[in-house]
Chains A and B, each alone.
Chain A
């Protein structure tokens, strides 16, 4: 049986490309939620959030998000954070049709 409980992580959008990033125990940022520092104590998380907000060049608008910790790994709790973490659930681009003699691909 896996054990799960609710904790906090810190997330933001990366300035260079807007990608979701997560605050790591080393005081930096990672694209993977798995690397995120997990806070059981909201007060400690608030303290780290202050530190994260200091990194204004690297990221935009850091905030805390709720995560459930399943088998030691943080998991997003809401649809929004799950989609931020895992990417759009839809196919992004329609594939080109195979080239054929009457309609050559330019």
Chain B
């Protein structure tokens, strides 16, 4: 993974010092909250319902065991002993005191981490495919470009005060978009040109929130060296022309939609023509320098293990077999596989990990996966380079610390925002609904029978839980101080990205999980075969059968 040199290190060190000064000004009374707020919001520090919340960037989700141990130490020392992995591959701690934040940032800087631009109307953490570098269907590893974008966007002087927040995602697997690039302000796909040369397809204007939209292609093929000039052109057009009169219409998707993608692309290309010659073009040596950090780890030379992997799923140890079947994918290197560690365990909010578990995960990464972990946008973790032969031992160790849920990609592998239990913006709670779903649908055979299906849940319209793109989406709303839940069906976040539709009137807190049960029954009854996925059945039969089952014939 990328390692800081003296320059990178100085930037995060100086940032920690700068924020120390800002916190001191606040605590001394020199500045009030109104003036401190914009400062903390450039540094991932939010004010939530019960406490401050600090969001730490995990660049494109990649972290070392050393960094994970640092998280554990921070959670134990400055928080209540746990942290929360988010859909943007970040980590949030929920209870730090203000005077502890500079110390936290210094500890993070000590392990090459930071909270820079994890909030505010600026370019946020660039996200990517959790199986980057290991997936068999990958064209090229996207992480070097993520790192190049991270450096370009960090403290970019021109784009610190955009109309609204800005999110970029990169995938190197055009065939299977695990980074949901179509749902980002800018989505970047590594593609092959006509002569087999590599470059980027650039999509702009995706996003969820109040006005969900799927990104549109503005450039079919961009030569690699032009990545930064082109991004700078998009950002400048947006910075100058994006709406600033209404925060709900300020995302770039609204600009793209208002201008039409052709006109937007024309303006970007015009700016790009001018920027191109200004020295921002990438050099081959820089691409090679950054790329070298993402060279594969020293895998052993092992025989092909596909048959071995297959045998494990059918073996006599049923728990292990189910886990391998659902949580493990084959690797491009023979003898290895990639393991998803589910953070969706009954009794724990989705995405939460205790300091103890963090330490154990760091040990397991060291012992089984070359000391690295990845955070996924499904709020899970990945050990990406595990020997197939080690799977039984790894499974046992994960089970010992409560991290062996075999539910990846299944109904209970939910995405869930913190909701009204923590969040100052939320209208309704999400975590208790998630817990109720876990309790009600905890039969592994039932989950496997349902097959691939996703529930995504947000406690408000800001859609941190991506409810629009859940096969089943749940949106918390407030009716005169009482929590209600809207049910949406038919969303998807992958290559076949689609937005869900609201079924009908909202459900009360004690009705919503029963409503999900009803939806599942309709699906099981109506699917053409056990292989037909929920979303495909929905697309075939439409909303009516579900509506009728939920609300009756009238």
Interface on A for B, CB 8 Å cutoff?
13, 15-20, 56-57, 60-61, 77-80, 83-84, 87-94, 96-97, 100, 102-103, 105-106
Asked if B47 and A13 sit within 8 Å, CB to CB, the answer is yes
Q: Assuming the A-B contacts A60-B33, A96-B354, A102-B400, are A90 and B431 also in contact, with contact meaning beta carbons closer than 8 angstroms in the complex?
A: yes
Asked if A94 and B357 sit within 8 Å, CB to CB, the answer is yes
Give every chain A residue within 8 A of B348 (Cβ-Cβ). 91, 94
Give every chain B residue within 8 A of A19 (Cβ-Cβ). 50-51
Residue among A61, A90, A105 with the highest chain B CB neighbour number at 10 A: A90
C-alpha spacing A60/B49, complex, angstroms: 12
Give every chain B residue within 8 A of A79 (Cβ-Cβ). 420, 428-429, 478, 481-483
Asked if B49 and A83 sit within 8 Å, CB to CB, the answer is yes
Q: Assuming the A-B contacts A16-B97, A93-B354, are A87 and B420 also in contact, with contact meaning beta carbons closer than 8 angstroms in the complex?
A: no
Of B400, B401, B421, which one neighbours A83 at CB under 8 angstroms? B421
A29, chain B: closest CB distance, angstroms: 14
C-alpha spacing A87/B26, complex, angstroms: 26
Asked if B421 and A89 sit within 8 Å, CB to CB, the answer is yes
C-alpha spacing A94/B435, complex, angstroms: 13
Q: Assuming the A-B contacts A56-B33, A96-B356, are A18 and B47 also in contact, with contact meaning beta carbons closer than 8 angstroms in the complex?
A: yes
C-alpha spacing A43/B359, complex, angstroms: 54
Q: Assuming the A-B contacts A13-B47, A106-B363, are A88 and B421 also in contact, with contact meaning beta carbons closer than 8 angstroms in the complex?
A: yes
> In this assembly, does B2 line the interface, its C-beta being within 8 Å of a C-beta of chain A?
no
- Which 4 pairs show the lowest CB-CB distances between chains A and B? A78-B481, A57-B29, A56-B32, A60-B33
Q: Assuming the A-B contacts A16-B97, A83-B421, are A94 and B482 also in contact, with contact meaning beta carbons closer than 8 angstroms in the complex?
A: no
C-alpha spacing A83/B52, complex, angstroms: 16
Asked if A87 and B482 sit within 8 Å, CB to CB, the answer is no
Asked if B33 and A15 sit within 8 Å, CB to CB, the answer is yes
Does more than half of chain B's interface fall in helix, strand or loop, or is it mixed?
A: mixed
> In this assembly, does B422 line the interface, its C-beta being within 8 Å of a C-beta of chain A?
yes
Does more than half of chain A's interface fall in helix, strand or loop, or is it mixed?
A: loop
> In this assembly, does B81 line the interface, its C-beta being within 8 Å of a C-beta of chain A?
yes
Asked if B420 and A80 sit within 8 Å, CB to CB, the answer is yes
> In this assembly, does B139 line the interface, its C-beta being within 8 Å of a C-beta of chain A?
no
Question: 8 Å CB contacts to A: which residues of B343-366?
Answer: 345, 347-349, 352, 354, 356-357, 359-360, 363
Q: Assuming the A-B contacts A93-B81, A94-B354, are A18 and B48 also in contact, with contact meaning beta carbons closer than 8 angstroms in the complex?
A: yes
> In this assembly, does B136 line the interface, its C-beta being within 8 Å of a C-beta of chain A?
no
Give every chain B residue within 8 A of A91 (Cβ-Cβ). 347-349
Asked if A90 and B421 sit within 8 Å, CB to CB, the answer is yes
Give every chain A residue within 8 A of B354 (Cβ-Cβ). 93-94, 96
C-alpha spacing A31/B429, complex, angstroms: 23
**Nearest CB in chain B to that of A102: its residue:** B400
Give every chain A residue within 8 A of B29 (Cβ-Cβ). 56-57
Give every chain B residue within 8 A of A57 (Cβ-Cβ). 29, 32
C-alpha spacing A13/B357, complex, angstroms: 31
Q: Assuming the A-B contacts A60-B47, A80-B420, A87-B50, are A94 and B98 also in contact, with contact meaning beta carbons closer than 8 angstroms in the complex?
A: no
> In this assembly, does B306 line the interface, its C-beta being within 8 Å of a C-beta of chain A?
no
Give every chain A residue within 8 A of B431 (Cβ-Cβ). 88-90
Asked if B421 and A94 sit within 8 Å, CB to CB, the answer is no
B42, chain A: closest CB distance, angstroms: 17
C-alpha spacing A106/B401, complex, angstroms: 12
**Nearest CB in chain B to that of A77: its residue:** B481
> In this assembly, does B281 line the interface, its C-beta being within 8 Å of a C-beta of chain A?
no
Give every chain B residue within 8 A of A105 (Cβ-Cβ). 356
Give every chain A residue within 8 A of B402 (Cβ-Cβ). 94, 97
Asked if A97 and B401 sit within 8 Å, CB to CB, the answer is yes
Asked if A18 and B435 sit within 8 Å, CB to CB, the answer is no
Asked if B49 and A84 sit within 8 Å, CB to CB, the answer is yes
Give every chain B residue within 8 A of A92 (Cβ-Cβ). 80, 82
Asked if B98 and A16 sit within 8 Å, CB to CB, the answer is yes
**Nearest CB in chain B to that of A93: its residue:** B82
Give every chain A residue within 8 A of B359 (Cβ-Cβ). 106
**Nearest CB in chain B to that of A66: its residue:** B481
Residue among A13, A16, A78, A80 with the highest chain B CB neighbour number at 10 A: A80
> In this assembly, does B432 line the interface, its C-beta being within 8 Å of a C-beta of chain A?
yes
Residue among A13, A15, A94 with the highest chain B CB neighbour number at 10 A: A94
Give every chain A residue within 8 A of B269 (Cβ-Cβ). none
**Nearest CB in chain B to that of A79: its residue:** B483
C-alpha spacing A19/B349, complex, angstroms: 21
A16, chain B: closest CB distance, angstroms: 6
Q: Assuming the A-B contacts A83-B420, A103-B401, are A18 and B50 also in contact, with contact meaning beta carbons closer than 8 angstroms in the complex?
A: yes
Q: Assuming the A-B contacts A78-B481, A79-B481, are A94 and B432 also in contact, with contact meaning beta carbons closer than 8 angstroms in the complex?
A: no
Q: Assuming the A-B contacts A20-B49, A103-B401, are A90 and B428 also in contact, with contact meaning beta carbons closer than 8 angstroms in the complex?
A: no
C-alpha spacing A56/B47, complex, angstroms: 15
> In this assembly, does B287 line the interface, its C-beta being within 8 Å of a C-beta of chain A?
no
Of A20, A60, A102, A106, which one neighbours B50 at CB under 8 angstroms? A20
Give every chain B residue within 8 A of A78 (Cβ-Cβ). 478, 481
B330, chain A: closest CB distance, angstroms: 28
C-alpha spacing A28/B348, complex, angstroms: 37
Give every chain B residue within 8 A of A96 (Cβ-Cβ). 354, 356
> What does the 1/0 interface line of B210-237 toward A look like (CB < 8 Å)?
0000000000000000000000000000
**Nearest CB in chain B to that of A105: its residue:** B356
A62, chain B: closest CB distance, angstroms: 10
Given contacts A19-B50, A60-B33, A96-B354, 16 further A-B contacts (CB under 8 A): A13-B47, A15-B33, A17-B95, A18-B51, A19-B51, A56-B32, A78-B478, A78-B481, A84-B50, A92-B80, A92-B82, A94-B82, A97-B401, A100-B400, A103-B360, A103-B397
